[in-house]
Amino acid sequence: MNKVTRDHVFFAFEPSLEPVLQVIQGEEILLETHDCFQGQLKSESDLIDALDWDHVNPATGPVFIEGVKPGDVIKIDLLEVKVAPRSTMVTVPGEGVLGDLITEMETAILAYDGEKVTFKNKVEIPARPMIGVIGVAPASGKVPNGTPGPHGGNMDCTQIGQGASIYFTAGVEGGLFGCGDMHAVMGDGEIVVCGAETPGEVRLKARVVPMKGLPTPFLETKDMVAVIHSSPTADEAASEATHRMAQFLTDFVKIPLNDAGMLMSLVGELKFCQVVDPEKTIRFEFPKYVLEKYGFRMPE
């Protein structure tokens, strides 16, 4: 299997990135990722003020997917998502939702035994490995990996894990896909600006699907689909994610607008991904069983 090691990273999604691997559609690949600090915090005595900020949020890649043209919708199946036995958390005065209260920098190392993450030898938390930064190059401009947007990026969505598929609209030929910033576990919101930050590896495959116009980034899990949207404020992101899910339900699933609205009000779930990055990310989840009642299935 084609593999990209964590020595091949980039720090901003942009059209001029040089691909480190070229794959054919449907081919399985393995990407090794760094944690969001690129391994700079090695122990609890390494504090965040010593960090080299030019080396945060590395993404592994980019991968050039053959045959992908701008405007194509790329489906990425996350076949396996594995994280390291150790993860790192920090508090940063002034940062995150509690930045006004937090005055002490702290670094905590958390162990992961394959099932649970242990917090300060006191609390065992069921792990839920996920990918924080994942995306494709935008058609123009340069988006630092710490910022989410229409191309993906630092969405920090807890549902982007093993078994999920994520859809992006290609901005450039080949897509130029990359990912990094895995978390062994994280809560919706990511309120102190980090989850259990960890290196990891992901096995995936990518291909173009005939769904041009899909509101992307778009997520699919076993039971639901979700539109993910990032905006400068959570209010705007919530409104956009909701409007874009309505667009999906009317345009793709062919549910009349009033029915789509009522169903979204009954069984839709509007949830925070993160509220601490330069843009806030919100997702609108909708259950697949309802799509099936309307005779709609996502592409295999």
Q: Which residues bind Ca ion (CB under 5 A)?
A: 132, 154, 156, 181
Q: Of the listed pieces 9-17, 64-72, 138-146, 181-189, which binds Zn ion according to CB under 5 A?
A: 181-189
Give the distance from CA 194 to its chain's centroid: 13
Amino acid (1-letter code) at residue 184: A
Q: Of the listed pieces 103-111, 114-122, 176-184, 244-252, which binds Zn ion according to CB under 5 A?
A: 176-184
Q: Does 36 bind Zn ion (CB under 5 A)?
A: yes
- The C-alpha atoms of residue 281 and residue 10 are separated, in whole angstroms, by 22
Residue where the block lists tokens 């002490």: 104
Question: Of 181 and 285, which CB lies nearer to Ca ion in the complex structure?
Answer: 181
Q: Does 277 bind Zn ion (CB under 5 A)?
A: no
Touching Zn ion, residues 61-100 (CB under 5 A): none
Shortest Cβ 79–Zn ion spacing (Å): 21
Question: Of 60 and 169, which CB lies nearer to Zn ion in the complex structure?
Answer: 60
Contact call for residues 214 and 297 (beta carbons, < 8 A): no
Contact call for residues 202 and 131 (beta carbons, < 8 A): yes
Shortest Cβ 156–Zn ion spacing (Å): 6
Q: Does 217 bind Zn ion (CB under 5 A)?
A: no
- The C-alpha atoms of residue 291 and residue 297 are separated, in whole angstroms, by 7
Question: Of 57 and 242, which CB lies nearer to Ca ion in the complex structure?
Answer: 57
Residue 200 interacts with, from Zn ion, Ca ion, none (CB under 5-8 Å by kind): none
Q: Does 132 bind Zn ion (CB under 5 A)?
A: yes
What SS3 string covers 199-264? Answer: CEEEEEEEEEECCCCCCCCEEECCCEEEEEEEECCHHHHHHHHHHHHHHHHHHCCCCCHHHHHHHH
Shortest Cβ 194–Zn ion spacing (Å): 5
Question: Of 33 and 231, which CB lies nearer to Zn ion in the complex structure?
Answer: 33
Question: Of 132 and 171, which CB lies nearer to Ca ion in the complex structure?
Answer: 132
Centre a 10 Å sphere on the Cβ of residue 251 and count the other Cβ atoms it contains.
Answer: 12
Shortest Cβ 146–Ca ion spacing (Å): 7
Rounded to the nearest 10 degrees, the angle between the axes of helix 234-251 and helix 257-267 is 130
Closest C-alpha to 106, from 183, 37, 45: 45
Token pair of 153, please?
Answer: 């990026």
Amino acid (1-letter code) at residue 253: V
Residue 32 interacts with, from Zn ion, Ca ion, none (CB under 5-8 Å by kind): none
Closest C-alpha to 66, from 175, 167, 216: 175
Residue 89 interacts with, from Ca ion, Zn ion, none (CB under 5-8 Å by kind): none
Question: Of 181 and 285, which CB lies nearer to Zn ion in the complex structure?
Answer: 181
Contact call for residues 207 and 23 (beta carbons, < 8 A): no
Q: Which of 181, 201, 277, 285 binds Zn ion (CB under 5 A)?
A: 181
Shortest Cβ 192–Ca ion spacing (Å): 12
Residue 60 interacts with, from Ca ion, Zn ion, none (CB under 5-8 Å by kind): none
Residues that bind Zn ion (CB under 5 A): 36, 132, 181, 197
